[in-house]
Amino acid sequence: MSTRIDVRKTYKLFIGGAFPRSESGYSYVVNDHKGAFVANAALASRKDARDAVGAARKAQSGWAGRTAYNRAQILYRVAEVMEDRRWQFVQAVQQSEGLSGSKAERVVDEAVDRWVWYAGWADKLAQVVGNANPVAGPFFNLSTPEPTGVVAVLAPERSSLLGLVSVLAPVIVSGNTAVLVSSYSRPLPAVNLAEVLATSDVPGGVVNILTGKAATVAPWLAAHMDVNAIDLTGVAGDAALATDLEVAAADNLKRVRRAPAAEPDWSAEPGLEPMTAFLETKTVWHPMGV
Amino acid sequence: MPTTPTTEAPAATAAGSAPGGDFSDVTRSDASLRRFLHGLPGVDQVGADARAASLGTRSIKTTAKAQALDLAIRMVDLTTLEGADTDGKVRALASKAVRPDPADPTCPSVAAVCVYGDLAATARQTLGDSGVHVAAVATAFPSGRASREIKLADTRDAVAAGADEIDMVIDRGAFLSGRYLEVFEEIVAVKEACGPAHLKVIFETGELQTYDNVRRASWLAMMAGGHFIKTSTGKTQPAATLPVTMIMLEAVRDWRAATGQMVGVKPAGGIRTAKDAIKYLVTVNEVAGPDWLDPDWFRFGASTLLNDLLMQRTKMRTGRYSGPDYFTLD
């Protein structure tokens, strides 16, 4: 039998439910933790970011308009498909993060579990963070959480799967759509996740994944007038860049989830904050007895 | 439209005065007209599509792009042609036409507001002497299925209401059955009913089936004295496409070579992005020539296009991407 020729992969972006190449035509080499070649990934440019925001905006009202129960079902389906592709994620995590087989499996388990956990929140958020407010008059006064809109997410640089899930799932569970910039050095779990999302009933445009440098793409997202919020987790530790992005984001009063000083411990219980950071509270007054 | 004469304007006025002298023989009878139109060289469909596609690949950047965006804004016929149009909507649209980007005084006005005839007076009232024209669709738009008298009355009514440009539709039924003289005479009659107003002749190229027919319709309308030839009503698909517009631009170029008169071209419907608009401008420049790069000779019939042009313009000015939230919907 002859020696089999390697199938060398050049991964693409995930925008609007499709897998386009970068508009720039550039790709970059992704190495494993030991420095050996693994694959090529598309190098996203500012125009890819622009297209991704356009796709996310187009998908936003439809996604937010689905019932919370339906969003929960779809997100649970994502977890199912992740579980089906378990071996692929384990391999990607091993290659990216240099973990041993059993540790990588544990990370994948945690990531799938976290996705399921967030899926469950879809139809429970309103009970927990919404309220029937007592008011001094014959009115029902109800506060309900509404999605902020299009959210740019800078995924953590080091935790390529668990960290990725921990910043992406809370954004979309409440009806936001996301433009996610993956880890530059460890993009493969994000690429795999894109393939999962494309085959698990998530409408095109709800999640858009750009592989590339946060330092080149993020300023365009932070300054983009049609992006409603930005999560700066991915630039943890780079205080100068984080400040620049916050300043750029101030122009249209984006909601900013600030960059922590160092990447957090992703295995810790996330709490509600990752979800509530991208919610707006709508309060309606309704006369009683009508 | 050339209210102030430019170098070519006298020629255009001549185009308005009578069918070009050379063509009186052609338009004498249905048979001679048919012989002439069917004698026009055929359009190589594959070649036309390929050429249009290649013209759409030019890269227009920085200062050239800024210039193209401003020119495209000046060429827009801001259009609302819906059954649900109200006076209020037309007033809002007319205000937007005069000052498309309230945040930027350097932003030019559009060329015209295009409305149904009964709303022309409202548009005229709001536009006043701003220099923005009032275009009204007439002649039983968009189907063109009405008697000649009604079409003429429709036209006269719109002109009386203050429209200085009339967009008429040709009778596609007559055209497709080969009754060219009927179509010709109708255009001549409508043009007469227009009086001082300029006439744009809509072919509805989506219904003409072939590029050959587009070329024939273009020559027919130019011989009948139309000031502008326009692709579509915007009510049927496909509306304006780049190859069709290119063929019409070739026709006006050839017409000028034959008669010395300039005729304008207006693609309408389906042009939604600044990028598309720039492709059209490139085609105008390459096919007809730079003389046509002027709102008097080239227009875009569009409604959503304007917002994208404004967003691109804002992007160039501020250096950051803009969003639809910052521009009015209509």
Q: What is the set of domains in chain A, with CATH numbers? A: 10-287 (3.40.605.10)
**Per the domain annotation, does B260 fall within a domain?**
yes
> How close does chain B come to A252, measured CA to CA in Å?
10
Mean pLDDT (10-residue bins), chain B, 330 residues: 40 41 85 95 96 95 96 97 96 96 95 97 96 96 95 96 96 96 97 96 96 97 96 94 97 96 96 96 97 97 95 95 89
Q: Show residues of chain A in contact with B322, CB under 8 Å.
A: 225-226
pLDDT of the residue at B34:
95
Active-site annotation holds for B167: yes
pLDDT of the residue at A290:
66
Q: Which residue has the higher pLDDT, A52 or B18?
A: A52
What is the pLDDT averaged over residues A254-275? 96
**Per the domain annotation, does B215 fall within a domain?**
yes
Range of the domain at B210: 29-319
ipTM entry: 0.87
Number of domain units in chain B:
1
Q: Show residues of chain B in contact with A250, CB under 8 Å.
A: none
pLDDT of the residue at B4:
41
Model confidence over A157-171: pLDDT tens digits? 999 999 999 999 999
CB–CB contact A226 B321 (8 Å): yes
Distance of CA A191 to the CA centre of its chain: 12
Nearest Cβ partner for A220 among B321, B322, B324 = B321
Active-site annotation holds for B191: no
What is the pLDDT averaged over residues A256-283? 96
Spot the catalytic one: B101, B154, B164, B167.
B167
> How close does chain B come to A34, measured CA to CA in Å?
39
User: Which residue out of A150, A226, A244 would a mutagenesis test of the B interface target, given it has the greatest number of B Cβ atoms within 10 Å?
Assistant: A226
CB–CB contact B320 A223 (8 Å): yes
Which residues make Cβ contacts (< 8 Å) with residue B306, sequence separation at least 6? Answer: B73, B76, B78, B96, B100, B110
Distance of CA A149 to the CA centre of its chain: 13
| Residue A108: pLDDT over 60 | yes
CATH number of the structural domain spanning residue B158 = 3.20.20.70
pLDDT band at A1 (very low <50, low <70, confident <90, very high): low
Closest alpha carbon to B3 in B188, B154, B130: B130
pLDDT of the residue at B21:
54
**Per the domain annotation, does B298 fall within a domain?**
yes
> How close does chain A come to B326, measured CA to CA in Å?
9
CB–CB contact A251 B321 (8 Å): no
Active-site annotation holds for B275: no
Q: What is the pTM of this model?
A: 0.90
> How close does chain B come to A226, measured CA to CA in Å?
4
d(C-alpha A153, C-alpha A183), whole Å: 11
| Side chain identity at residue A188, one-letter code | L
pLDDT of the residue at A6:
86
Model confidence over A172-227: pLDDT tens digits? 999 999 999 999 999 999 999 999 999 999 999 999 999 999 999 999 999 999 99
Q: Show residues of chain B in contact with A224, CB under 8 Å.
A: 320-321, 323
DSSP for residue A36 = -
pLDDT of the residue at B86:
96
SS3 of residue B158 by DSSP: helix
